Amino acid sequence: MTQFSFPNQTTFYSGKVRDVYSIGNQLLVMVASNRISAFDVILPRPIPYKGQVLNQIAAYMMEATKDICPNWLLTVPAPQVSIGKRCVPFKIEMVVRSNLTGHAWRTYATGKRELCGAAMPEEMKENDFFPTPIITPSTKAEHGHDEDISPAEIIKQGLATETDWQTLSSYALQLFNRGKEIAAKQGLILVDTKYEFGKINDTIYLMDEIHTPDSSRYFYADGFEERQEKSERQKQLSKEFVREWLIANDFMGKEGQTIPTMSDEWIDTISKRYIELYERVIGKKFQPVDISDEETYELIIKSLSTL
């Protein structure tokens, strides 16, 4: 993926899956790449159309939740590009969970009944619903693995004030409830997700992406209860199937482990799963767009000139 250079550009940051450009002190250009990461490791091969899928779902969800809290997004000049307000980020991820799944289940299976200060009831099965959604925040690591953290530790470490924490948790739960409503209309269950927030002066803004397959896990609602009763695996739309494939091939991002070879067929499968999630969540046919780096650059420049 080409690294661009824009007028008035002040910084450039290449994340796990996005390239982020600061324009002056007020704007960010975020380019969603086709890179894919798991266990905080960037996998060696890109996934066709993944960037477009993530960017367009995020833009759709930002529009659908802008009545809940302010968000950073201003415009989407190209299929894989968003431009928005530059915020000072909180160095925490607000993870919201409605089901005992993934990391929560792995923690529960060790016998623990608390995660990030949130209680998990006894006698739950994998994928069961919690009585109410729980927030299990993590610190946002620039390098390496994110770490679980409790609200008390967040406040103690100065990652957020108590007042800000109350606002962040309120926004996160409201956004999650809206996400569940949107998913339910499409026959899906929003199982868990993460939100990132930042500040401009004293105002808290929702940043980054929301309710995408990289930041969220969805189950199919049809047949969910029957599968739970039979202790069968839930049918899901998320990146978890990539993690499961890596685990089955003895890779969990640990030192000394080797990333397994990704065949053309497997790359195609991942791409189709991302497109399937787009179509299920948005309720529209995905329209793949093949656009050159030169065209992308010109669209970004044109958009920046109007902001």
Pair of tokens at residue 246 = 């890596």
- Quick one: DSSP state of residue 143? S
Q: Is there a single domain that holds both residue 224 and residue 93?
A: yes
Q: Is there a single domain that holds both residue 181 and residue 145?
A: yes
The confidence band for 142, taking pLDDT boundaries of 50, 70 and 90, is low
- Quick one: DSSP state of residue 129? E
Domain that includes residue 82, residue range: 9-87+263-304
Q: Is there a single domain that holds both residue 118 and residue 185?
A: yes
Q: Is there a single domain that holds both residue 21 and residue 115?
A: no
Assess whether pLDDT exceeds 90 at residue 27: yes
Pair of tokens at residue 266 = 């497997």
Q: Is there a single domain that holds both residue 113 and residue 26?
A: no
Residue 133 included in any domain:
yes
The predicted model gives 106-122 an average pLDDT of 97
Output the domain CATH number for residue 169.
Answer: 3.30.470.20
- Quick one: DSSP state of residue 305? T
pLDDT for the residue 54: 93
Kindly report the pTM of this predicted structure.
0.90
The confidence band for 40, taking pLDDT boundaries of 50, 70 and 90, is confident
pLDDT for the residue 238: 76
Output the domain CATH number for residue 38.
Answer: 3.30.200.20
Q: Is there a single domain that holds both residue 70 and residue 103?
A: no
Residue 248 included in any domain:
no
Residue 142 included in any domain:
yes
Q: Is there a single domain that holds both residue 48 and residue 138?
A: no
Q: Is there a single domain that holds both residue 46 and residue 151?
A: no
The predicted model gives 147-175 an average pLDDT of 97
Q: d(Cα 284, Cα 289) in Å, to the nearest integer?
A: 15
Q: Which residues pair with 197 in a beta bridge?
A: 206
What does the pLDDT look like over 250-296, one tens digit per residue? 999 898 999 999 999 999 999 998 998 899 999 999 999 999 999 99
pLDDT for the residue 24: 93
Q: Is there a single domain that holds both residue 76 and residue 29?
A: yes
Q: Tell which wins on pLDDT, 232 or 16.
A: 232
The confidence band for 143, taking pLDDT boundaries of 50, 70 and 90, is low
Question: Which of 209, 219, 40 lies closest to 129, judged by CA?
Answer: 219
Q: Is there a single domain that holds both residue 95 and residue 74?
A: no
In the chain, alpha helices (H): 50-65, 103-109, 151-156, 162-185, 224-229, 240-248, 264-282, 293-304
Pair of tokens at residue 288 = 């793949």
The confidence band for 10, taking pLDDT boundaries of 50, 70 and 90, is very high
Q: How many domains does the chain contain in total?
A: 2
Q: d(Cα 48, Cα 180) in Å, to the nearest integer?
A: 27
Q: d(Cα 25, Cα 43) in Å, to the nearest integer?
A: 32
Q: Is there a single domain that holds both residue 231 and residue 118?
A: yes
Q: d(Cα 141, Cα 92) in Å, to the nearest integer?
A: 9
The answer to whether residues 85 and 27 touch, using CB atoms and an 8 Å cutoff, is yes
Q: Tell which wins on pLDDT, 213 or 135.
A: 135
Q: Is there a single domain that holds both residue 138 and residue 230?
A: yes
Assess whether pLDDT exceeds 80 at residue 141: no
